[in-house]
Amino acid sequence: MIVGAGVIGAVCAYYAAQAGLAVTVVDRGPVAGGTSGAGEGNILISDRAPGPELCLAQLSIRLWRELATELGDVFEYEAKGGLVVAGTDAALDGLRDFAARQRAAGDVDAVEVVGPAGLASYEPYLAPDFAGGMFYPQDAQVQPMLAAAHLLRAARERHGTRLLTGVTVTGLLTSGGRITGVRTGTDGEISAGAVVNATGTWGGDTARLAGVHLPIEPRRGFILVTEPLAARAGVPLIRHKVYTAQYMSNVVSDEAGLESSAVVEGTRAGTVLIGASRERVGFDRTISLPVLRRLARQAIALFPALAEVTAIRAYCGFRPYSPDHLPIIGADPRAPGLLHACGHEGGGIGLAAATGYLIAQSLTGASPDIDLVPFRPDRFTGTPT
């Protein structure tokens, strides 16, 4: 039983069903109706610090590539690469040092240092005053709603996975000190050999049903979407995922207040996605015009041609923030029969493939491909409130 039909729940279902398990997925809303439906679809290694999350990202990048081959071109997988730019020589030195530490920790040797004169070969319409950057060819992108939908469809058509949407889990069933299923508000009790908590920003609420504590909080972010853009002289306005060095410090920040940095990328439809902001304001969905203006200004500083482009809409989502910035993955020893796959903050789409794969290994008793100890659910102290 998997609770949550976002991208992470969908990948968990796909790999668990592929491993021969009978799988039911339940969600109180539609497929990808939460955080997955409000993301950019980034699959990144460029912003992953050396350590456990870099290992997770490396595994996930490989698995996303394999999933795109297995399912075909159905969820807009693009291995476009990522360009991180620095405004000063000091910032560029910081990017070089970060990449060197990544290389020392894992297989990221393909990263390229780009001098100021070389930036135009990657992004012809980039502003001319940057000191340089780093290009990560491994970075990729998917359309997250399509990814969730097609993974669940494949799990259902190939392996008989059952999907129940509009079904709210109100409690967990127990027997002999073990979680044995869920109680729902509409479909009664549903038995299961194990329950996977893939409820993203609401992962702490789901954990609370089992009497265990996960300190996951919502971290709101806005995205601006432009009108579809035609290529200029045969060259797309934005060819890769492009962001500033400041974005990397924002990702690991613990600040509750507003932080933003330029993150810009195109889509197959021709639109441009502009982010990224972060702030912990609970589940407040109020559109903030000052934040949107700030994002627009930062994007124009990166690509001046965007000043002549119309933004057609904006939306917000809630990243599932955990205090140590690591996701929560694996079996919970405090509640046997309960596994967690949540708390990925802004990296959930990119890390979903590895997370689902590792959850399937845990469910089947296989040895995990990477060490799950850093992601263990019981690393947090406290009691559910």
**Helices (H), ranges, the chain:** 7-18, 52-71, 89-105, 119-122, 144-159, 203-208, 245-251, 289-302, 348-364
**Residue type, position 295, single letter:** L
For the chain, give every residue range classified as CATH 3.30.9.10: 82-137+217-320
Neighbours of 372 (CB within 10 A): 18
CATH architecture designation of domain 82-137+217-320: 2-Layer Sandwich (3.30)
61-94 in b/e burial notation, b at 16+ Cβ within 10 A?
bbbbbebbeebeebbbbbebbbbbbbbeeebbee
CATH architecture designation of domain 2-73+143-216+324-379: 3-Layer(bba) Sandwich (3.50)
Pair type for strands 24-27 and 162-165: parallel
Find all residues with CB under 8 Å of 220, minimum gap 6, and list them. 277, 278, 279, 280, 281, 284, 285, 316, 317, 318, 319
Closest CA to 258 of 250, 246, 266, 270: 250
Residue 69: predicted pLDDT: 97
Q: Identify any residues that bridge with 279 across adjacent strands, giving them in sequence order.
A: 220
Pair type for strands 2-3 and 195-197: parallel
For the chain, give every residue range classified as CATH 3.50.50.60: 2-73+143-216+324-379
Token digits of residue 379 = 């690393």
Backbone angles phi, psi at 164, to 5 degrees: -120, 110
What Å distances lie between residue 189 and 183, 208, 338, CA to CA? 4, 18, 16
Token digits of residue 65 = 């590539």
Query: Running along the chain, 385 residues long, what does each successive block of 10 average in pLDDT?
Result: 98 98 98 93 93 94 97 95 96 94 80 95 96 96 97 97 98 97 96 98 97 96 94 85 88 86 92 94 94 96 96 95 96 98 96 98 97 96 76
Token digits of residue 292 = 């949107």
Quick one: 346 exposed, middle or buried, by C-beta within 10 A (0-12, 13-18, 19+)? buried
| Rounded Cα gap, residues 356 and 71, in angstroms | 16
Residue 107: predicted pLDDT: 66
Residue 255: predicted pLDDT: 86
